[in-house]
Structure 1
């Protein structure tokens, strides 16, 4: 046994040295006294205080550890693990003496929260409901308060449910949309609420500087959180990108529109999409013959840069070959012809995403088609349940709760064709051929044997990978930076 533990420690040390990563903490799961295997681990973060709460679950118990911003365990509690119908974690809040987790059933029709008190060493489970006719859309946290975005299917009201963790009060706020409308497919005019309701619970949140697969970036509706604003972008209309901004404090909506780069060109196979990064919005549009990208200043709509290619030209603004991944017969292929790139992305779901690469901007441009996983259809990522504390079959990744892990896992489920492009601070192309690695590429290389329950989450301006050693009954957190 001692030799096995020594070998594990040496393996971990080698991985950290070879990948130049930093172990920021490890702690014993000393609340656990049984020999049963750990079933799951869920990390939660208070972005205001930088505290962490780690839930470690076995078949009968939930072992909860609270870590301060120096990653030291400052409190812990054991709770009974009871399976319930609530299989999805929507969000969390962490305060000085307690932690709340918000849950729903798999259809997001029934809701509950668990209040875990470190001070009293107790847990309280409470069910709650939305008002009649209100449909859940997405969840988020702001100033350590939990919110749910909802639409009333009858009145078409846009709603924000706000949860006060101190007095456990739930406020239902109506958003003043000022009768704003959106252009949809085939230039149909519809109310904002109708368009949001159409996509419903499929609206994905995007975190700044988290790499995104083409599958995610090609979504026609995206949700961004920026300071006190919810930003929703809509790319269903081929005329342009429409953006609505919900002010969380004032409960109001504003709208702006950015014209599509090829809005005046009629083409049956034309596709378009966009991505917002700080005060930049990238708008792309193309068909089998031409592709154009406008990079605008988001706040003013001012054109910063324009890039365009036809099928007979070389792509002057790419820094990598044209790459196809996830093919049925070849998992990785490279293409040379621009015509093939345009043909493939215009026949698929087109997207663009932006992250920072040191002081430069890294753009990913491409398209994807769905492929089946070995066992059949692509699995949906959801969560399981709890109560003493109902975490029995909860997963550590969810569309609502941990968008970083969701993005990390999404790279393995599609057949995509893409290019990577590098631009300086003025959005001018940087002409150099190189292998552009993302932070996820680095993390995927970091594998330690005899560990399980890998988790990944964003913390401040870096990423943390967590995993558990059944051999040592210890949990490890590793810091990764770009």
Structure 2
């Protein structure tokens, strides 16, 4: 997202940035330390919002109702977990929160439940074989905390589901399937994930291009996971994982064929459709396919001499932190894109689909005197496209998303610290500690112009 912030600042210079303050709470953090943590999160059943503050060896929990009025608070000492990082949360049937604290050194998790009724806590330790099951990602779903790990020596992912004081282990076995790298050479499942680590996509939110250029993506659905692999430029290997039966179904979707060999291709899953992009210096190819029937719903081929007629923004290039510049034509765009890791992102609001196409060169590192330094010469090229829900083109003016406005706000306000973002009802909440006013604040951000 930060790759396009400067362009948005120019494009939306008339955009009103004043935001609704939903709540503020006086909070004195005398000395901010590196391991201080603040997180806001929602109970998906009651729609209560909780704010957890960990600082100076103590914690404070603020409990807001669904109208965001402060209803209760709870404070105490971080006796069990002061030197740990907060992985996530869950809620019990009684509505009380449970937080999960991980130790990188000890490779275990302290599970702490907070009882608002009598202001007590109960802690348990969860040990899992972290040395042979490194953590891939974690997420919250249906008020449960989910921890996904990868087995180091076997072709398996292991999902731990924590809810109501219990943990369920679900083993996802990929041994029946075969895998190939970008050179079509046979590889193991673990080799593929080592070269292309899993990137989790946020459901119902805009996923920025720097995440979606990843070749291995995980999508969270009700009682399902979708895992897509795009390391092979000729096809997308998709796994539909049933979390109830643990059945895994494989589907392979050929990339739209180019006249010349493509250096890079990619895909994005959204609402039972697979969006695929394949590019060369001469062509831009884009397919939309139905996941169940595998039928091609839309197929577009643009040559370097054509105009991209479905774009709703200029063709843009941005180097490092400088302002984006417009590329003159499709040929220039494809010339730059051919040297980058390409990807696309699909996001839906109430009326339209927003699709971002582009590419990024991932940071490289230079070594001097035994030390590694990041190569700051970064480049991003991209354009935006707005479609209706029937997959038709629109000529609508590009409007800022809530995520864009949040990033602009944070960039313009140095007093913002410990920010976290949640989707709430039909808008987003930015929660942060204001170092100037010594308050914890929650601001409302919506898509479109204010």
Answer yes or no: is 1:130 the counterpart of 2:128: yes
Higher RCO by CA contacts (8 Å cutoff, separation 6 or greater): 1
Alpha-carbon contact 1:47-1:460 (below 8 Å) kept: no
Task: Give the C-alpha shift of residue 140 in structure 1.
Answer: 2.3
Answer yes or no: is 1:288 the counterpart of 2:288: no
Q: Structure 2 CA distance, aligned partners of 1:210 and 1:27?
A: 27
Partner residue in 1 for 2:7: none
Out of 153-162 and 61-70, give the one that drifted further: 153-162
Alpha-carbon contact 1:238-1:272 (below 8 Å) kept: yes
Structure 2: state its 5+ residue gaps: 1-14, 366-371
Map Cα deviations across residues 272-329 of structure 1 (whole Å, 9 max, x no partner). Answer: 001111122210001111110001222322212122211122222211111122436x
Map Cα deviations across residues 101-157 of structure 1 (whole Å, 9 max, x no partner). Answer: 223234894333222222332334433222473333222233322222223333433
Answer yes or no: is 1:239 the counterpart of 2:234: yes
Structure 1: state its 5+ residue gaps: 1-16, 380-411
Cα gap change, 1:454 to 1:416, in 2 (>3 Å)? same
Alpha-carbon contact 2:137-2:147 (below 8 Å) kept: yes
Partner residue in 2 for 1:53: 50
Answer yes or no: is 1:270 the counterpart of 2:263: yes
SS at match of 1:216: helix
Q: How does 1:168-183 map to 2 (within 5 A)?
A: 168-177=165-174, 179-183=176-180
Q: Structure 2 CA distance, aligned partners of 1:378 and 1:74?
A: 47
Q: How does 1:411-430 map to 2 (within 5 A)?
A: 415-430=379-394
* TM-score calculated relative to the size of structure 1: 0.78
Task: Give the C-alpha shift of residue 449 in structure 1.
Answer: 7.4
Q: Structure 2 CA distance, aligned partners of 1:358 and 1:426?
A: 13
Alpha-carbon contact 2:80-2:110 (below 8 Å) kept: no
Cα gap change, 1:170 to 1:377, in 2 (>3 Å)? farther
Answer yes or no: is 1:261 the counterpart of 2:237: no
Partner residue in 2 for 1:457: 422
Q: Structure 2 CA distance, aligned partners of 1:347 and 1:466?
A: 38
Q: Structure 2 CA distance, aligned partners of 1:425 and 1:316?
A: 18
Q: Structure 2 CA distance, aligned partners of 1:72 and 1:450?
A: 24
Picking from 425, 431, 443, the partner of 1:466 is 431
Partner residue in 1 for 2:116: 118
Out of 125-134 and 51-60, give the one that drifted further: 125-134
Partner residue in 1 for 2:21: 23
Out of 87-96 and 239-248, give the one that drifted further: 87-96
Alpha-carbon contact 1:305-1:428 (below 8 Å) kept: no
Picking from 402, 409, 413, the partner of 1:439 is 402
Q: Structure 2 CA distance, aligned partners of 1:86 and 1:283?
A: 44
Q: Structure 2 CA distance, aligned partners of 1:355 and 1:377?
A: 35
Alpha-carbon contact 1:285-1:293 (below 8 Å) kept: yes
Q: Structure 2 CA distance, aligned partners of 1:218 and 1:452?
A: 28
Partner residue in 1 for 2:355: 363
Partner residue in 2 for 1:405: none
Q: Structure 1 CA distance, aligned partners of 2:80 and 2:167?
A: 25
Alpha-carbon contact 2:268-2:346 (below 8 Å) kept: yes
Alpha-carbon contact 1:156-1:194 (below 8 Å) kept: no
Alpha-carbon contact 2:154-2:190 (below 8 Å) kept: no
Q: Structure 1 CA distance, aligned partners of 2:195 and 2:252?
A: 20
Partner residue in 2 for 1:323: 316
Alpha-carbon contact 1:86-1:111 (below 8 Å) kept: no
Partner residue in 1 for 2:4: none
Q: How does 1:46-85 map to 2 (within 5 A)?
A: 46-81=43-78
Alpha-carbon contact 1:142-1:228 (below 8 Å) kept: no
Map Cα deviations across residues 376-398 of structure 1 (whole Å, 9 max, x no partner). Answer: 9679xxxxxxxxxxxxxxxxxxx
Cα gap change, 1:240 to 1:85, in 2 (>3 Å)? farther
Partner residue in 2 for 1:397: none
Pairs aligned (count): 421
SS at match of 2:137: strand
Cα gap change, 1:195 to 1:110, in 2 (>3 Å)? farther
Alpha-carbon contact 1:177-1:252 (below 8 Å) kept: no
Map Cα deviations across residues 404-443 of structure 1 (whole Å, 9 max, x no partner). Answer: xxxxxxxx995311011111222122245x4442222222
Q: Structure 1 CA distance, aligned partners of 2:216 and 2:356?
A: 18
Map Cα deviations across residues 70-100 of structure 1 (whole Å, 9 max, x no partner). Answer: 2222322112246968644322102335322
Answer yes or no: is 1:300 the counterpart of 2:293: yes
Partner residue in 1 for 2:5: none
Cα gap change, 1:112 to 1:333, in 2 (>3 Å)? same
